[in-house]
Amino acid sequence: MRKAICTTRAHILGLVILLGGFSAQAQDVVIVTNKGVLISHITPAELKDIFTGARTRFADGSRAIPVVLKGGPVHEVFLRNHLGDNPSEFRARWRKAVFTGEGSMLKECESEAALLSYVTNTPGAIGYLSRAVDGDVVRVITVSP
């Protein structure tokens, strides 16, 4: 029941995010995790390692499951600001892992609403959104050295 309520709230918040739009040039993204993740901040290196597959756990030892958008300005801002990649480089990085047997492709979502819903309902999930959301469904964490 609680999961269903969270999912509904995530969908509503996702719709708000979608309608709010995003200026790719002006903003950075907001890093969010599942509520069960017990960290409040992450270092730039840790964040990059998790989204490039070099690290599979948060600093507290719990499992990290990265999730990204399939494309769009929010995705590109996240890649540029936090990984230093463009979408092609990011895709090649993960395809290398997939086709050499070293890893599996990370989860991709079609929309921010879907990403928010996934993070809300998946223990250990970490993703990004164009703007801050209600802290009741996901945890917003800061990126600092």
Partner 1 sequence: MPRRLLLVLACFCAATLKAQNFDNIQIHGFATQGFLFSSNNNYLTMNSSTGSMQWTEGALNVTDSVTDKLRVGIQVHMYQMGEFGGPNLVVDWASGDYKFNDQIGVRAGKIKVRLGLFNDSQDVDSLFLWVLLPQSIYPDDNRDYDLAALGGEVYGDLRLGSRRGSLQYSGHVGNTTLDANGGYMRQLAQYGLVFPSPPSGSTSGGDLRWLTPLRGLTIGAGAANYALDGAAPAFNFHMPGSLNVVYYAQWDHGRWHLAGEYYRSPLRFVINTGDGASALINDFRCWYPMLSYSVTRKLQLGSYYSVMSNHAGDTSLPENYSKDWVLSSRYDFNPYFYGKIEGHFLHGTGAGYYNDTNLNGLKPNSTMLAARIGFSF
Contacting residues toward partner 1, per CB under 8 A: 43, 45, 49, 54-57, 63, 71, 84, 86-89, 91-92, 95-96, 98-105, 145
CB nearer to partner 1: pick between 15 and 103? 103
Helices 112-121 and 2-20, interaxial angle, to 10°?
150
Q: Work out how close the CB of 15 gets to partner 1 at its nearest, in angstroms, rounded to a whole number.
A: 26
Q: Work out how close the CB of 56 gets to partner 1 at its nearest, in angstroms, rounded to a whole number.
A: 6
Q: Work out how close the CB of 93 gets to partner 1 at its nearest, in angstroms, rounded to a whole number.
A: 9
What is the DSSP pairing of strand 125-129 with strand 30-34?
Answer: antiparallel
CB nearer to partner 1: pick between 89 and 136? 89
Q: Which one, of 20, 23, 17, lies nearest residue 127 by Cα?
A: 17
Which run of H or of E encompasses 58?
none
What distance in Å separates the CA atoms of residue 98 and residue 39, rounded to the nearest whole number? 29
Q: Work out how close the CB of 3 gets to partner 1 at its nearest, in angstroms, rounded to a whole number.
A: 16
Tokens of 49: 């390692």
CB nearer to partner 1: pick between 43 and 142? 43
Q: What is the torsional sign of CA 69, 70, 73, 75?
A: positive
CB nearer to partner 1: pick between 16 and 124? 124
